Structure 1
Amino acid sequence: MTASSLANTIHHGPWLTALLSLLLGFASISTDLYLPALPTMSVALGADRGTLELTVSSYLLGFSLGQLFWGPVSDRYGRKLPLLCGLAIFIAGAAGCALSTGAWRLVGWRVVQALGASAAFVIGRAMVRDLFDRNDAARMLSTLMMIMGIAPLLGPTIGAQILAISSWQYISWSLVGMRAVTFAAVCRLAEPLPPARREHGALLGKFATYLEHLRNPALMLYAGILGFSAAGLFAYVAGSAFVFIQFYGLSAEVYGLVFASSIVGIMLANAVNRRLLPRYGSDRLMLAGAICGGVAAFFVALLAWTGWGGMAAFLVALWFFVAMGGMIGANAVAGGLTSVVKGTGSASALLGCAQYGGGMIGAGLVSALSQGTPAPLGLVVLMSSLAAGACAIAIARRLLAEGATAPT
């Protein structure tokens, strides 16, 4: 049975798209929703800003490492049962956050929450590969990324509205409710990975699959593209508020519009990517995105260091750089998952770990180098783009070499 026919036998159409969006979207909504409540939580829990910010970094750490566990488990036992376990863990973690009476308890429950969310993310991606062939998988991932772009646009606003009519705990309770609905939806789902396609044998041996993946040069190049691209994007997320509010003097409200416009850019790039995939294929579009992103990154760094053109020129260059992330991400994931014959779940986990690990490094670098100007952001964006572009070019050269040696 082919991937496409399997998709048709399960649930093809809006229902499947909606479910996959819920699974992948909780990676961001679980943080975006409660960001406006951080100052209130700091007062309520008697904690300083740095301690509350650990609830974000600890979540990213747990989310990144948790994927490495759920990938092999889902390859061995199928997608549905591990996914339900992950959703149950997330519900427990979110409830624990709501009931926390101290900042460090909150940090601990956020890690639990992240471990559950990582199951939904890595298994959701693996399901896309289970159900769709390569270009169709890239098209579905582009669609999902367009839908997921709504989360950072609306998440903080919804969180602020919940906070306005109730306490910060109800933000966590709302996450419990949303995940309970997702749990019920997954219960209706037919198993996407039938026993005949699973990895058999002892579970511990399934973790050895990572060694095979690490020796897969194509997969490592796709992981490199994701990691380096995410480093630049997360550097933007971590550093842009200080650049636009403190350096350029924008108000918080106007900065929110600037940030929202960059998310719209990613969504537009995904829409273009989805439309062009049948004609050009995922690797060509990924390479185009990496090249265009690299050119934009060069101008971001140049304008950050020289100040030429003022804020307007800097904003335009940064907008194009961020938007190209939409052209790179879905194609790199589809290419990476297609490069493996077995162990799709663990490959999805490795790609996700590289993506979020790179994001943490990028955010950490721009924070460590901060000196009150846009220069550190420009530097991290440029270096990450050059590295991502190098990986994309290496993949293009491999494909050309394979084409030249293929029998005619």
Structure 2
Amino acid sequence: MPIRLLLILGALSAFGPLAIDFYLPSFPALAQAFSTDVEHVQQSLAVYFIGLAFGQLIYGPLADRYGRRGPLLFGVTLFVLSSLACALAPSLDALIAARLAQALGGCAGMVVSRAVVRDLCEPRDAAKVFSQLMLVMGVAPILAPLAGGLLLQLFGWQSIFYSLTLFSALVGLALYRWLPETLPAGAERLPLRGSLGRYLGLFRDREFLTFALTGGLSISAMFAYVAGSPFVFIELYGVPAEHYGWLFGVNAAGFILSAQVNAWLMRFRGPGFWLRRLSALFLFCALLLLLFAAWRAPLWLLMLPLFLAMGCLGCILPNAAACAMARQGGQAGSASALMGSLQFAVAALASALVGVLHDGSALPMALVIAGCALLAALLAWYSGQVEAR
């Protein structure tokens, strides 16, 4: 795949995660600005997950009916405008509403980029491309909290959303100029009125659903970490907000590195083989994290299983996506949308559960991560039984 196209797809895929990671260091500042607490500010994160979950269901059928470019351009435009609205929000309620609109715009790139990869690649090649996209996307978790902490310190929390506005506008321009329509000219344009039936059919597809939920539970563990880490790092362990990004970036670096290792592993065995084995390793790391959190271990010791767990996810997520999309060529947009919606619906519950279980320790974050890892490992094992039938 050409590097320019890969960069555009990576940037589009990064809209959702970037809009999360960039503003994480600002949670305490937002709580102070709106005279509330961090737990209420976390609602803006949970609402964003909900928008990502349900918005994707809209873009999937649109991409199968009208092609890839139109829905993408609409979504990027909405993301630009809602990012500006976040910067100008006069209250927490207004910020939450703007974050919902931001999610509805950002999820277009997440849905359609997967459909574009499916348009252009076979399953094993798709796993490699998804791993390469993780490299592009992975720069966001490393740089975003660092840049967010710096902008917060120098210019205030509004500057974070102004930066998102500028970034998304530039990506939209690149999309308009350089991303071609990838839905084949002779492909059947599926009518919108059959969208519900296609979604129901995908729900009955045991293989698709198993792989989609394996990826969904894995990404839920990641976002439980995203939701809980500002409190754990900044408030519990006393890490300065402007340094939070360094810790976050270490784990993101592990995610990026393992994704590139995953692309290399595709030379030897297919994505399903590695998915099952790395899900088991992910469960081991998550249980180790839970043990250290219950022990109230020092931060450096807590970081070790976190780093290894995030590294496992760099392999699990592209493999789960490639397996889920492998047989969905005629309805790639709808399959991508349903997969993303399932993933972020579970992620919304996981991130909200971290807040509900909040007890002033790292245990709630670790407990949710371990629970997601256990269910993902069971589903990954079950996927082998489904494939064998």
Superposition TM-score, scaled by structure 2 size? 0.90
Equivalent residue of 1:196, what SS? coil
Letter in 2 for 1:355: Q
In structure 2, relative to structure 1, the CA distance for the partners of 1:386 and 1:64 (3 Å cut) is same
Distance in structure 1 (CA, Å) of the matches to 2:90 and 2:298: 46
- Paired letter, 2:141: P
Tell whether the 8 Å contact from 2:46 to 2:351 is kept in structure 1 after alignment: no
The structure with the largest alpha-carbon Rg is 1
Partner of 2:349: 361
Aligned residues, how many? 388
Cα deviation code 1:117-146 (max 9, x no counterpart) = 111111111111111111111111111112
User: Partner of 1:96 in structure 2?
Assistant: 85
CA contact (8 A) 2:149 2:243 kept: no
Question: Which residues in structure 2 correspond to 1:257-296 (within 5 Å)?
Answer: 257-296=246-285
Task: Map 1:5-404 to 2 at 5 A.
Answer: 12-41=1-30, 49-163=38-152, 166=155, 168-188=157-177, 189-201=179-191, 203-244=192-233, 256-306=245-295, 312-401=300-389
Q: Give, as a single letter, the amino acid of the residue that structure 1 aligns with 2:186.
A: A
Contact kept, 8 Å, 1:221 with 1:392, in 2: the verdict is yes
Q: Give the letter aligned to residue 174 of structure 1.
A: S
Matching residue of 1:7: none
- The secondary structure found in structure 2 opposite 1:218 is helix
Mind listing any 5+ residue stretches in structure 2 that lack a counterpart? none
Output one character per residue of 1:47-101: Cα deviation in whole Å (capped at 9) or x when no partner. 6545543332222211221001101111111101111111121122123223333
- TM-aligned CA distance change 1:140 to 1:53, over 3 Å: same
Distance 1:319-1:168 versus aligned 2 partners, 3 A rule: closer
Find the residue that maps to 2:42 and give its secondary structure.
helix
- Summarize the Cα distance change of 1:173–1:136 in structure 2 as closer, same or farther, 3 Å threshold: same
For the residues of structure 1 that align with 2:24 and 2:289, how far apart are their CA atoms?
Answer: 27
Query: 1:251, 1:162 → 2: CA distance?
Result: 14
| SS class of match (1:197) | coil
Q: Is the 8 A contact 1:218 1:339 kept in 2?
A: no
Say if 1:199 and 1:343, in contact at 8 Å, map to a contact too. Answer: no
Which segment drifts farther, 46-55 or 328-337? 46-55
Calculate percent identity across the aligned residue pairs.
34
Task: Report the residue type matching 1:103 in the other structure.
Answer: L
User: How far 1:249 sits from its partner (Å)?
Assistant: 5.7
Residues 230 and 362 of structure 1 are in contact (CA less than 8 Å); yes or no, is this contact kept in structure 2? no
**1:275-328 residue CA offsets vs partner (Å, 9 max, x unmatched):** 111211111111121011112223223333356x76554432232122111110
**Deviation by residue 1:332-386 (Cα, 9 ceiling, x = unmatched):** 0111111324211111111111222222222222332233344433332222212
User: How much does 1:151 deviate?
Assistant: 0.8
SS at match of 2:90: coil
Residues 368-405 of structure 1: per-residue CA shift (max 9 Å, x gap): 2233344433332222212111111111122333xxxx
Letter in 2 for 1:114: A
Asked if the contact 1:76–1:206 (Cα under 8 Å) also holds between the matched residues in 2, the reply is: no
1:47 and 1:304 mapped to 2: Cα distance?
27
Which residue is 1:406 aligned to?
none
Contact 2:111 2:337 in 1 (8 A): yes
Q: Do the aligned residues in 2 keep the contact of 1:77 with 1:198 (CA within 8 Å)?
A: no
- Report the AA paired with residue 147 of structure 1: V
| CA distance in structure 2 between the aligned counterparts of 1:302 and 1:338, rounded to whole angstroms | 37
How has the CA–CA distance of structure 1 residues 48 and 259 changed in structure 2, closer, same or farther, with 3 Å as cutoff?
A: closer
Tell me, what secondary structure is at the counterpart of 1:343? helix
**Comparing both chains, which one has the higher relative contact order based on Cα–Cα distances under 8 Å and sequence gaps of 6 or more?**
2
Give the Cα–Cα distance (whole angstroms) in 1 for the partners of residues 258 and 84 of structure 2. 36
Letter in 2 for 1:273: N
Q: Distance in 1 between matches of 2:98 and 2:362?
A: 35
Q: Select between 158-167 and 79-88 the one with higher mean Cα deviation.
A: 158-167
Gaps in structure 1 of 5+ consecutive residues: 1-11, 402-408
The CA distance in 1 between the partners of 2:47 and 2:369, in whole Å, is 24
Shift of 1:40: 4.6
> In structure 2, do the counterparts of structure 1 residues 178 and 312 end up closer, same or farther at CA, with 3 Å as the change threshold?
closer
